[in-house]
Amino acid sequence: MHGMAEPIRPRLKARRSLLLAGAGLSCLGLLLLTIWLMPVVPGSPEQAQMLREILIWQSLMPRAALGLFVGAALGLSGALLQHVLRNPIADASTLGIAAGAQLALSVALALVPGLLVLPREIIAFAGGFLSFAVVLALSWRRQLDPVTVVLSGMIVTMIAAALSVALILARGEYVMSIFIWGSGSLSQQDWSGVLSILPRLALGGLATMLLMRPLRVMSLNDSAARSLGVSVHAIRFAVLTLAVWLAASVTAIVGVIGFLGLAAPAIARYCGARTAAEITSAAALAGALLLFAADSLMQLLGPGFSDLAPAGAATALLGGPLLLLLLPRVRSTLGLRTASSVPLQRLRRPGLGLAVLGVAFLCIFGLALTLGASDKGLEMSLGSEFADLLPFRLPRLLAAGGAGAMLAAAGMIMQRITGNPLAGPEVLGVSAGAGAGLAVALFLVAFPSLPVMLGSMAAGALVTFLLMTAMTGRSAFSAERVLLAGVAAGALAMALVTLVLAQGNMRSYLLLLWMSGSTNRVGALEATFVVSASIVLVAPLFLLGRWLAILPLGADVNRGLGLPVARARLALALLAALLTAAGSFAAGPLSLTGLVAPHLARMVGFQRPAHQLMAALMSGAGLMIASDWLSRLVIYPYQIPLGLFAALIGGPYLLWLLGRKSDQ
Amino acid sequence: MVEQGMPDGFLSLSGVGFSANGRTILSGIDMDIQAGRVCGLVGPNGSGKSTLLKIIARQVAPTSGDVFWSGRSLADWSGRAFARQVAYMPQFTPGADGMTVRELVALGRFPWHGTLGRFGKVDRRAVEAAIQRSDLASFADRRVDNMSGGERQRAWIAMMLAQDARCLILDEPTSALDLAHQAGVLALVRTLAEEQGLTVIVVLHEINLAARYCDTIIALNGGRVLMSGSPREVMRSDTLKQIFGVDMGVFEHPQHQHPVCYLL
């Protein structure tokens, strides 16, 4: 991305036009193949012929055009974002723009239908811009370091997505249809979608062309651009507004098309585009062809000409691997700085601290058991009423508490093994890996039994975690990079989950229920399972305190002390995977308890493994019980699923941690 | 313990070689190291001294040849049994987040009590003795990550002492320290070796420090042992030129009588 323009060698140019011609021809081929393979409509010959023509001209053709135009708009938007932020992994999905736009649309749809008199695009733009502003504000003090920006963006995306799902579930209606819309389907019945994206794309292209000169100067760094007379802030603001508007318009028309804006400029650069003009135009082209190809493939591969999955869910599969691929090349603007600079203190009397924590935990438990909302407001239920309510309240509180404790223990293991204070089952993608395992199980067996579900979840979690530890062990990645890699792996796993989810059948419902982490249906059986699993799985950890103390010191020291490093890591990883599987089975993949609880315990000053574990278990369980209780209260008589509600507490905590490190 | 009392063959290497990614880092290294001596590994950057140290410390397996501790091949040692005999300190000691000096030193008892064993009276005494001997008594409850570089290095040496090993292996223990702390750390290692009859194998960057504190100097260049002997034998203009590839002069320290070299 250097502004120095050297003449492009003719051979490169020839290769590029050959590549372009090849891609264009194969897209044309895909379109023809789609038309050719279209099933014959039953009925009399002339009627069938008429229907076929209607299908081709009112559904297939507009859909193809829409794919091209939407892809171009997203490619252009991604290229612009990457260029002005000097961040090769920026895109509407990684910066929270798409998720913010979707959240704004969900809010409008579910809570303030009056807002829908406004064009959807304006609502989406407001949401997208707002969440983007939050991301920028969070990473401002870290000088918009690319990794931090994207990490904040992915977390904002997670929170916004959780809020969207919570809203949809709270309203109860149209759950699946809204969800499918959210995952970016390109199906069309007429040309209206095309007619609404086309002028916007044209306007975006025109604006980009007008801004091309300042954009070219912006390839240099800020001070150089400023010395050349470019008002850097104004240009940057204008370009960002343009990019966010393009992405938000797409979200308003077809929903979230994941990571296309990340892939298109990467492809453009890979093919040799270097200057601002080359990259923006090539990215628009690459985005168009990519989305069209993905959508055609989904149509062709789907059974009986129904889509295999929405195109947006299909492109989201690209995001995780691409992020992992691009990450080593992202230059940090901060130099080396690790996330471990959170000030750690030590409690002088950890025993007393644990006792206080225990009392607080019991109070929360008691309060959650007795205090509830009713039509008359908050009400304390004691005596016979208490006995009546107990069978309803106790199991779900036990399940919530057990899940919280297990996730906390898993998070603590991960933080100790990786030596990364911000690790956790959710941020390392391990919970999502468990979800991918569950999705695979649901795909292979229609109605898997509990052991099969748990086993496949544990397997998914273990694979993801081993992958992440391999990455941490191998390279000198900073803590933030490891987190971003984890978030990327999580995004890949979640894209897999979404693919199954988008089928819209009973499996999808099971998955959606799992994703939201609902404790609504927990009965005595589930509660017993969760509590006994947490006891069986957590107990060994108290015996392994010495491993947990030595492991963070790194492989050299571990070997020097005679610790069987590989075996210890594998055993703990297995334990962490089982804990994650069982914990997220009850609380869903989003809760962030596994990050928050052990981290909080450490920050308060419990440093020895046994103390930290006790404190983490109690705060994890307490956090989940409090979340469960609050999730019953805040929108009474409706309920927010526990996992989502906990994510709304954990997400801001993580964002606060990321922002706060810069104070040092 | 089988390994009690070994008169000869304390540590011997035969034909040790190491190559990674098609690049030969060490080749054909044969040597014997006697017990109870302080032995310095020196050589220019990329001469393979750190790799050799890691092979001796059982951190990395050699790609050819073998290392024998007390006559037993490296492969025959279990991790904990080896750690009771040999303590190793890496070049970059990790930040012991939130740990106190005493907790860090207590980790040195792991090879003895293992994962589930009791942390008993013997262990406690060994930890306190190690802290005393490293002059850390007043720091024992301070946090390792708040201490200065020299103090932190002392805390890690105390951890190695608590390990009750017969041999200490240190990889450039002074690389991040100022001159006063470099001398302090090496003097501590030297004293400990003399008081307790420990064997020390240490990689040092600075040849004059090696001459001042070691009994034996082993000089490496290009993955081979170029020279090994007492400081007086190694510290000669011609050998130094061979080792480091620059012209150097040598004179005698006016007080200690050991050789000191300087760039010409």
Query: Bigger pLDDT: A113 or A405?
Result: A405
| B8 pLDDT above the threshold of 60 | no
- The reported pLDDT for the residue numbered A659 is 67
- Residues A289, A628: Cα–Cα separation, whole Å: 46
Do A586 and A440 share a domain, yes or no? yes
Instruction: Please check whether residue A340 touches B, CB under 8 A.
Output: yes
Side-chain-side CA neighbours of B247 within 13 Å: the count stands at 1
- The reported pLDDT for the residue numbered B5 is 39
pLDDT digits (tens, 9 = 90+) for A201-246: 999 999 999 888 888 887 777 777 777 777 778 888 899 999 999 9
- Report the number of distinct structural domains present in chain B: 1
| A603 pLDDT above the threshold of 90 | no
Asked if ipTM goes beyond 0.95, one says no
Closest chain A residue by Cα to residue B92: A556
Domain of B212, in residue numbers: 11-263
Distance from CA of A544 to the nearest CA of B (A): 7
First to last CA, chain B: 52
Domain of A157, in residue numbers: 61-308
The proportion of chain A whose per-residue pLDDT surpasses 90, expressed as a percent, equals 24
Closest chain A residue by Cα to residue B82: A562
- The structure tokens listed for A274 are 């270097």
- Residues A276, A262: Cα–Cα separation, whole Å: 16
Distance from CA of A334 to the nearest CA of B (A): 21
Instruction: Tell me the mean pLDDT in the region A315-340.
Output: 69
Instruction: Tell me the mean pLDDT in the region B192-208.
Output: 91
Buried b / exposed e across B27-42, counting CB within 10 Å, b at 16+? bebebebebebbbbbb
| Residues of chain B numbered 132-161 and touching chain A (CB < 8 Å) | 143, 145
**B103 with A564: Cβ contact below 8 A:** no
pLDDT digits (tens, 9 = 90+) for A490-520: 888 888 887 777 776 777 777 877 877 877 7
Distance from CA of A558 to the nearest CA of B (A): 10
- The reported pLDDT for the residue numbered A337 is 44
Which among B79, B94, B116 is the nearest to A543, CB-wise?
B116
Which among A346, A547, A607 is the nearest to B115, CB-wise?
A547
- Residues A245, A77: Cα–Cα separation, whole Å: 9
Instruction: Please check whether residue B110 touches A, CB under 8 A.
Output: yes
- Residues B160, B155: Cα–Cα separation, whole Å: 9
Q: Are B189 and B168 in contact (CB under 8 A)?
A: yes
Instruction: Tell me the mean pLDDT in the region B36-43.
Output: 92
Mean confidence (pLDDT) of chain A: 83
Residue B103 lies in a domain: yes
- The reported pLDDT for the residue numbered A636 is 73
The last residue of a domain, from among A285, A308, A331: A308
User: Which of A316-320, A560-564, B28-32, B196-200 has the least mean pLDDT?
Assistant: A316-320
Residue B6 lies in a domain: no
Closest chain B residue by Cα to residue A612: B98
Neighbour-count burial of B79, counting CB atoms closer than 10 A to its CB (0-12 exposed, 13-18 middle, 19+ buried) = middle
Residue B5 lies in a domain: no
Q: Are B260 and B208 in contact (CB under 8 A)?
A: yes
| B104 pLDDT above the threshold of 50 | yes
Banded pLDDT at A352 (limits 50, 70, 90): very high
Instruction: Please check whether residue B193 touches A, CB under 8 A.
Output: no
Residue A361 lies in a domain: no
Give chain A positions within 8 Å (CB) of B115. 543-544, 546-547
User: Which of A206-210, A363-367, B171-175 has the least mean pLDDT?
Assistant: B171-175
pLDDT digits (tens, 9 = 90+) for A453-473: 889 999 999 999 888 877 766
Banded pLDDT at A9 (limits 50, 70, 90): low
Instruction: Please check whether residue B127 touches A, CB under 8 A.
Output: no
Q: What CATH number corresponds to the domain at position A183? A: 1.10.3470.10
Q: What CATH number corresponds to the domain at position B22? A: 3.40.50.300
Please count the residue pairs, one from chain A and one from chain B, whose beta carbons lie less than 8 angstroms apart.
71
The proportion of chain A whose per-residue pLDDT surpasses 70, expressed as a percent, equals 90
Banded pLDDT at A176 (limits 50, 70, 90): low
- Residues A106, A178: Cα–Cα separation, whole Å: 9
Instruction: Please check whether residue B82 touches A, CB under 8 A.
Output: yes
| A341 pLDDT above the threshold of 50 | no
- Report the number of distinct structural domains present in chain A: 2
Do A293 and A441 share a domain, yes or no? no
Instruction: Please check whether residue A342 touches B, CB under 8 A.
Output: no
**β pairing state of B248-252 and B259-263:** antiparallel
| Highest-pLDDT range among A67-81, A382-396, A565-579 | A67-81
Nearest to A517 by CA among A606, A641, A607, A404: A641
Closest chain A residue by Cα to residue B80: A562
The last residue of a domain, from among A308, A329, A360: A308
The last residue of a domain, from among A280, A308, A336: A308
For residue A143, what is the enclosing H or E element?
none
Distance from CA of B138 to the nearest CA of A (A): 17
User: Which of A27-31, A173-177, A279-283 has the least mean pLDDT?
Assistant: A173-177
- The reported pLDDT for the residue numbered A663 is 43
- The reported pLDDT for the residue numbered A504 is 66
Do A198 and A74 share a domain, yes or no? yes
Distance from CA of B186 to the nearest CA of A (A): 20
- The reported pLDDT for the residue numbered A6 is 45
Query: Bigger pLDDT: A379 or A664?
Result: A379
Q: What is the pTM of this model?
A: 0.81
- The reported pLDDT for the residue numbered A12 is 63
Instruction: Tell me the mean pLDDT in the region B232-240.
Output: 89
pLDDT digits (tens, 9 = 90+) for A625-636: 999 998 888 877
Residue A376 lies in a domain: no
| A73 pLDDT above the threshold of 50 | yes
Residue B4 lies in a domain: no
Distance from CA of B251 to the nearest CA of A (A): 39
- The reported pLDDT for the residue numbered A328 is 75
- Residues A43, A294: Cα–Cα separation, whole Å: 32
Instruction: Tell me the mean pLDDT in the region B209-232.
Output: 91
Instruction: Tell me the mean pLDDT in the region B33-54.
Output: 90
| A66 pLDDT above the threshold of 50 | yes
Q: Are A337 and A597 in contact (CB under 8 A)?
A: no
